[in-house]
Structure 1
Amino acid sequence: MEHFLRKALPSEAEIIWNILQQAIERRRKDGSRQWQDGYPNLEVVKMDISSGKGYVLEREGKIAAYAALVFNDEPAYDEIEGNWLTNGDFLVIHRVAVSDDFLGKGIAVSLFKLLEDFAKEHHVFSIKVDTNFDNLAMLHILEKLNYQYCGEVYFRGGARKAFEKVLS
């Protein structure tokens, strides 16, 4: 099944927002507090896209997943309770969401593998990511893909589990 990563287009903001809303609802049903406070929202998606940070995984001509990608810029990561594995360049992955239409098809794992390739293509060999302590789906993916727990970071007043993977 062919799938690929590409920059999101401004005309796709509503589609991406719908996918994020599906993920927000899944988190709510799972009992997670992640994304239950009005963030992210459509304006965040539009800012991701306009700043060149919004990326989609396209499969079968449809958007299957979304992520915001940022190189070397996450102020919350400067204040970690714990220690990162590396101190050099890194890629931050935020706002990962998979469309309901593609659940159970390994899309999140495929997305992370494409993002690892994306980082290496940009000569960056560290990926940093954080998630809520109660986002069991993301915690499982990070464990499966050998991301290492590094400590806690704080966003909008809440603690988040921080992970890093050093790429070879």
Structure 2
Amino acid sequence: MKNQFRKATLSDVNAIWSILQQAIERRKQEGSNQWQDGYPNPEVIKKDVEKEVAFVLIEQGEIAGYVAILINDEPEYENIEGTWKTNKDYVVFHRVAISENHLGKGLAKKMMRFIEEYALENDIYSIKADTNFDNTAMLSIFKKLGYTYCGKVYFRNSPREAYEKVLK
């Protein structure tokens, strides 16, 4: 069965929150301080859905992954300590999480490909993202998929590694 990538609905919030709780616990077990401050939470997911920026990856009929995708909407990126590769329109994604039941299947990379397709469908050729310096899984995905390190950005007074991929 082919993966499906679609906008999330309010009825998906509980499943999404369950996946994010698993990811929060994984970060903790790995010794990361990412997502250990009460963020993200169910209210954040609900707002993502209401703003129509919440997306789910469906695998074998169930929600296997979550991501929020926004266009030109990350004010913190204006304050980068470094330099972005482009200053044009961009897609930014946050809160990438894969269900425990689907780890090791390459679904995070598949989700990143769907994000690239989403950008191209909207005539946008830049994807920007950030992650914690100790989120080795995400850092590895950025490297494998051709993202370039651009500098540091800060969220809730915490430094994050900022990356960009230019699609064309």
Q: Indicate the RMSD between aligned Cα atoms, in angstroms.
A: 0.6
Distance 1:167 1:4 in 2: 22
Measured against aligned partners, the alpha-carbon deviations of 1:101-141 in whole angstroms (never above 9, x if no partner) come to 10000000000011101110110100000000000110011
Q: 2: CA distance between counterparts of 1:8 and 1:49? A: 6
1:46 aligns with 2:42: no
Q: Equivalents in 1 of 2:57, 2:84: separation in Å?
A: 28
2:5 matched to which residue of 1? 5
Partner of 1:159: 159
Match of 2:116 in 1: 116
TM-aligned CA deviation for residue 53 of structure 1: 0.7
How many residues are paired up?
168
In the alignment, which residue of structure 2 is the partner of 1:150? 150
- TM-score normalized with structure 2 length: 0.99
- For 2:95 and 2:60, how far apart are their aligned partners in 1? 22
Tell me how far 1:60 sits from its aligned partner: 1.1
The runs of 4+ residues in structure 1 deviating greater than 3 Å are none
Task: For 1:2-81, list aligned pairs within 5 A.
Answer: 2-81=2-81
CA shift, 1:86, in A, is: 0.2
- Which whole-Å CA distance do the structure 2 matches of 1:28 and 1:105 have between them? 22
Amino acid at match of 1:141: I
Alignment-mate amino acid for residue 31 of structure 1: G
Structure 1: which 5+ runs fail to align?
A: none
Find the aligned partners of 2:32 and 2:126 in 1 and give their Cα distance.
Answer: 27
